[in-house]
A and B are shown apart, each in its own frame.
Chain A
Amino acid sequence: MATLELGLDEGVAAAPARRRRRLGPVFWAAAGWMLLVFAVSLFADLLPLPSPTDMDMLERRASFSAAHWLGTDGFGRDELARLIHGARVSLFVGLCAPVISLTIGGALGLLAGYFRGRFETLVVGSMDVLLAFPPLILALAITAYLGQSIPNLTIILGVLGIPAFMRVARAATLTLARREFVIAAEALGASHARILLRELLPNVVLPLLAFFLLGVAVIIVAEGALSFLGLGVPPPTASWGSMIGEGRESLEVAPQLAFLPAIAMFLTVLSFNLVGDTLRALTDPRQASL
């Protein structure tokens, strides 16, 4: 009998230790900022803040004070409150739109990469058409037709992001679909659905999630840009982008009105990128197997 000394016990006990790379201070700072932004946007209503829409025409563009920690904007509204409510909007759109892109784009890419043939050509072709549309015109057209609102904005940005996720999912699926473990599943008589869900999806999900985090960062900026142009979140709702747009007029008098939301957006996007990159490196099974 061919015996086998496994020697696994010590070997594997060491394995979890090796996955926990040293997460540096930069990672923790980024994670900390992300948590802070999440927390304040979740609990914005519970915080003892003035309303972000209460105008006070006597206190316009006021600088930092006890009543208004970060001052007021052009209409006398509390800047800090607007920043925090703006965080809400950014995060909501920033998370929900990529989720739409991920589910639809990811599914399309997975199916296209697995089934190939005419279906794949159809999917890739339609994605190319979608990409060819100037996104801004598309956004304009839809808001003109359906009206400006946060849900509409989320849907627009979600739809615009589908081709990118489709590409990532398809590329990952193409590499995996010809690997022996998939052929082994076929040889066992597994149905297509089983192969897609049990064999391919768990492997494709990783690069998709990493891309998702990057997508969040991109959407936050995209929402900011649209709102800056007046096409995004309608006033008086605060959004970092619209705050930057409004702050533009007061650059000489009260530059903080434009810079504060810009810094907030910069830090948030940077944190998402840093955390996303680190998580991706950690969960890559190839790295863990030395």
Chain B
Amino acid sequence: MTEAPLLSVEGVAVDLPTARGNLRAVDSVDLSLGAGRTLGIVGESGCGKTMLSRAILQLLPKKAKLSGRVMFDGQDLARCSRETLRKLRARSIAVVFQDPMTSLNPVLTIGTQLMETLQEHLELDASEARKRSVELLAAVGIPAPEQRLAQYPHQLSGGMRQRVAIAIALSCEPKLLIADEPTTALDVTIQAQILDLLAREQKRRHMAMIIITHDLGVVAGRTDEVAVMYAGRLVEHAPTQALFKQMRMPYTEALLAAIPKLETAPHTPLPAISGRPPDPTRPLKGCSFSPRCRYATSRCESEKPQLVASSSPDHRYACFHPIKHDASVGA
């Protein structure tokens, strides 16, 4: 199946001028996503994953400079006019943010916020919009949807608010949904419900989805591909199975090892990654992870590794000393 990917991020870089010098928040990222597929972008705070999502959405801060192309459905979003972008938003690309208390307007009712999007982008009249809103709220699992329309965000629990945010995002049948840490602010039992909801809706609407998170557990069961970011760069990108079972990047390996797992016996020392992520205003000459990497050599400190493909073309990584797995052939 060689259809053109829905989203293609080509050489995207984001530079932010700060008082301490230029901050390269995102450094030459290449990614693509086909329709109906789910991509997980994983990384810790400061790795650039949120900036990347903002770059895709063209929602970067004013001072930021974007280079590269963001091809969506054949158009370069970085070069579109404001009007074109406005029409694309909600109808083609939708977003769900981390904190529903701040992503929903606290002084407008749920109904107003939902119907506003519908009326604006789908040009429905008020009664149609209202009917559709009730349907949407029911679809995301909110009980008594008619009553909810008149309520304000603070009257709902965190999980409910996030469902409303998802309803708003899905209201105009977007082709791509970007969920930026959608469950980080929620309890684990609610988290599971929200992730199930997203998966269900995605299948139903044949939507492409990007889940951005720091939690490897969230992407393990619910994505087709995973991209790992570190210090602004894409360091590994592979189909989910391959990433977890045959990861190449020492960072990915170390990250997985450092997560406490339920199977481990108590008081087992965790294999922690020493040190901290580098200061983004002072990028290292070589590999950004080398100061913390157990396999680092002098080459790693002087040369920056580029993304190369491993034995299978859809598994890319950026390392001079990738992890070897028995089943692999060549590197």
Asked whether B63 is an interface residue with its Cβ less than 8 Å from the other chain, the reply is: no
Q: Which of A3, A7, A18 contacts B274 (CB 8 A)?
A: A3
In the bound complex, do residue B279 and residue A2 qualify as a contact, i.e. CB atoms below 8 Å apart? no
Decide: A7 near B20, CB < 8 A? Known: A2-B272, A2-B274.
no
Q: Does B275 have its Cβ within 8 Å of any Cβ on chain A?
A: yes
Return the contact of B276 from the options A7, A18, A290 (Cβ within 8 A): A7
B272 near A290: Cβ-Cβ < 8 Å: no
Q: How far is the CA of A12 from the CA of B202 in the complex (A)?
A: 47
Q: A2-B272, A2-B274, A3-B274 are in contact. Are A290 and B19 (CB under 8 A)?
A: yes
Closest A-chain residue to B291, C-beta based? A5
Q: Does A14 make an interface contact (CB < 8 A)?
A: yes
Which of A3, A7, A290 makes the CB contact (< 8 A) with B18?
A: A290
Name the A residues within 8 Å of B79 (CB-CB).
none
CA–CA, A49 to B225, complex, Å?
84
Q: Mark A1-33, 1 if CB is under 8 A from B, else 0.
A: 011110100110010001001000000000000
Asked whether A10 lies within 8 Å of B274 as measured between CB atoms, the reply is no
Q: Which of B18, B19, B276 has the most CB of A within 10 A?
A: B19
A290 with B20: CB separation less than 8 A: yes
B154 within 8 A of A: no
How far does the alpha carbon of A3 sit from the alpha carbon of B292 in the complex, in Å? 11
* A162-185 to B contact mask, C-beta < 8 Å, 1/0: 000000000000000000000000
The residues of B that contact A14 with a CB separation of less than 8 Å are 20
Q: Does B282 sit at the interface, judged by CB under 8 A?
A: yes
Which residues of chain B are within 8 angstroms of A2 by Cβ–Cβ distance?
272, 274
- Measured between beta carbons, the chain B residues less than 8 angstroms from A21 are 19
**Contacts known (A18-B19, A21-B19, A290-B18); A11 close to B274, Cβ less than 8 A:** no
The answer to whether B282 touches A10, judged by C-beta atoms less than 8 angstroms apart, is yes
Q: Which residues from A are CB-within-8-Å of B19?
A: 18, 21, 290
Q: Which residues in chain A, 212-239, are within 8 Å of chain B measured between CB atoms?
A: none
User: Helix, strand, loop or mixed for chain B's interface?
Assistant: loop
Q: How far is the CA of A86 from the CA of B19 in the complex (A)?
A: 43
Contact with A along B274-318 (1 / 0, CB 8 A): 111001001000000001000000000000000000000000000
Q: List residues 117-173 of chain B with CB under 8 A from any CB of chain A.
A: none
B275 touches A4 (CB 8 A): yes
**Complex contact A5–B20 (CB within 8 A):** no
Q: How many angstroms between the C-alpha atoms of A256 and B210 in the bound complex? A: 70
B272/A7 in contact, CB under 8 A? no
Q: From residue A108, how far is it (CB to closest CB) to chain B in Å?
A: 31
Q: Which residues of A contact B275 (CB under 8 A)?
A: 3-5
Closest Cβ of chain B to A290, distance in Å, is 7
Q: B325 to nearest A CB, angstroms?
A: 29
Residues of B contacting A10 in the complex (Cβ-Cβ under 8 angstroms): 282
- Which A residue sits closest to B272, measured CB to CB? A2
Q: State the Cβ distance, A21 to closest chain B Cβ, in Å.
A: 7
Residues of B within 8 A of A11 (CB): 279
A-contacting residues, B5-55, CB 8 Å: 18-20
CA distance A119 to B90 in the complex (A): 52
Could you mark each residue 233-266 of chain B with 1 if its beta carbon is under 8 Å from any beta carbon of chain A, else 0?
0000000000000000000000000000000000
Closest CB in chain B relative to A19 CB, distance in Å: 8
Nearest B residue to A22 via CB reads: B19
A14 to B281, CA, bound (A): 11
A5 to B292, CA, bound (A): 9
* A5 in contact with B276 given A14-B20, A290-B20 (CB within 8 Å): yes
Question: How far apart are B231's CB and chain A's nearest CB, in angstroms?
Answer: 14
A18: nearest residue on chain B (CB-CB)? Answer: B19
- CB atoms of A5 and B274 under 8 A apart: yes
* Chain B nearest Cβ from A36, distance in angstroms: 31
Smallest distance from the beta carbon of B46 to chain A beta carbons, Å?
11
Smallest CB gap from A21: residue in B: B19
Whole-angstrom CA separation of A7 from B278 in the bound complex: 9
Which residue in chain B gives the minimum CB-CB distance to A6? B276
Bound-state Cα–Cα, A14 to B20, Å: 8
Residue of B nearest to A19 (CB): B19
For B20, give the chain A residue with the smallest CB separation: A18
Q: How far is the CB of B287 from chain A (nearest CB, A)?
A: 16
Chain A minimum-CB-distance residue to B270? A2
* A52 CB → nearest B CB, Å: 48
Residues of A within 8 A of B18 (CB): 290
Instruction: Give chain B nearest CB distance to A23 CB in angstroms.
Output: 14
CB neighbours (8 Å) of A3 from chain B are 274-275
A5 to B293, CA, bound (A): 13
Chain A: which residue is nearest B278 at the CB level?
A: A7
Point out the residues of chain A lying under 8 angstroms from B272, CB to CB: 2
Give CA–CA (A2, B270) in the complex, Å. 10
Contacts of B282 in A (CB 8 A): 10
Q: How far is the CA of A4 from the CA of B276 in the complex (A)?
A: 8
CA gap between A32 and B19 in the complex, in Å: 26
Smallest Cβ distance from B145 to chain A, in angstroms? 36
**Chain B residues within CB distance 8 Å of chain A:** 18-20, 272, 274-276, 279, 282, 291
Extra contacts, 6 of them, besides A7-B279, A18-B20 (Cβ < 8 A), are A2-B274, A3-B274, A3-B275, A10-B282, A11-B279, A290-B19
Residues in A lying within 8 Å of B, measured CB to CB: 2-5, 7, 10-11, 14, 18, 21, 290
- Which 5 pairs from chain A and chain B are nearest by CB? A18-B19, A5-B275, A3-B274, A18-B20, A2-B272
